């Protein structure tokens, strides 16, 4: 199945926002009375580390890749590259293993999953913003092309008028 390449941003936004919501929900559920400014601050720190170090560069990378496609229609799975699908699969397996084997205390899961989930959700928001930005840029390009065509037509019409005046 193929979609317009700009719609790949919408697909990426949906996947990242859903993943972020689900991960954040796990984190919040595991706070279980472990509350306090320190834990919330640590969650915010986790968010910043993942957003600045991982997901903001990832959004830029995938935006450049999607914008570089020549054809308008692209396969639906191209909102990610192969490496991203492998990373997501690894993260899911790691997540399930950590929680099923109880390798981390609930307090750590709460802090890390809340921050990570928020970063994932914001990544979806960034892809959604890219969708609107890229659509607007495309519209500007099309308007500029139309202006150039109109200028060229007016110039040619003007030149033809001068030729008839000289005769």
pLDDT at 164: 65
pLDDT digits (tens, 9 = 90+) for 137-158: 888 888 888 888 888 888 777 7
Confidence of residue 88 (pLDDT cuts 50, 70, 90): confident
What would the two tokens of residue 41 be? 């601050």
Q: What per-residue confidence (pLDDT) applies to 125?
A: 96
Spell out the residues 6+ positions from residue 113 whose beta carbon is closer than 8 angstroms to its own.
23, 24, 26, 27, 30
């Amino acid at each position: 199945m193929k979609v317009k390449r700009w719609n790949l941003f919408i697909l990426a936004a949906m996947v990242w926002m859903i993943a972020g919501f689900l991960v954040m929900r796990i984190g919040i559920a595991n706070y279980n009375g472990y509350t306090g400014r320190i834990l919330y601050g640590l969650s915010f720190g986790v968010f910043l580390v993942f957003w600045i170090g991982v997901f903001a560069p990832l959004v830029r990378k995938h935006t450049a890749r999607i914008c570089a496609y020549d054809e308008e229609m692209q396969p639906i799975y191209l909102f990610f590259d192969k490496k991203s699908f492998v990373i997501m699969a690894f993260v899911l397996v790691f997540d399930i293993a950590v929680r099923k084997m109880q390798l981390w205390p609930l307090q750590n899961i709460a802090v890390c999953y809340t921050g990570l989930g928020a970063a994932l959700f914001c990544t979806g928001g960034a892809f959604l913003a890219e969708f609107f930005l890229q659509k607007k840029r495309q519209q500007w390009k099309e308007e500029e092309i139309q202006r150039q065509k109109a200028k060229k037509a007016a110039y040619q019409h003007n030149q033809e008028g001068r030729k008839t005046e000289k005769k």
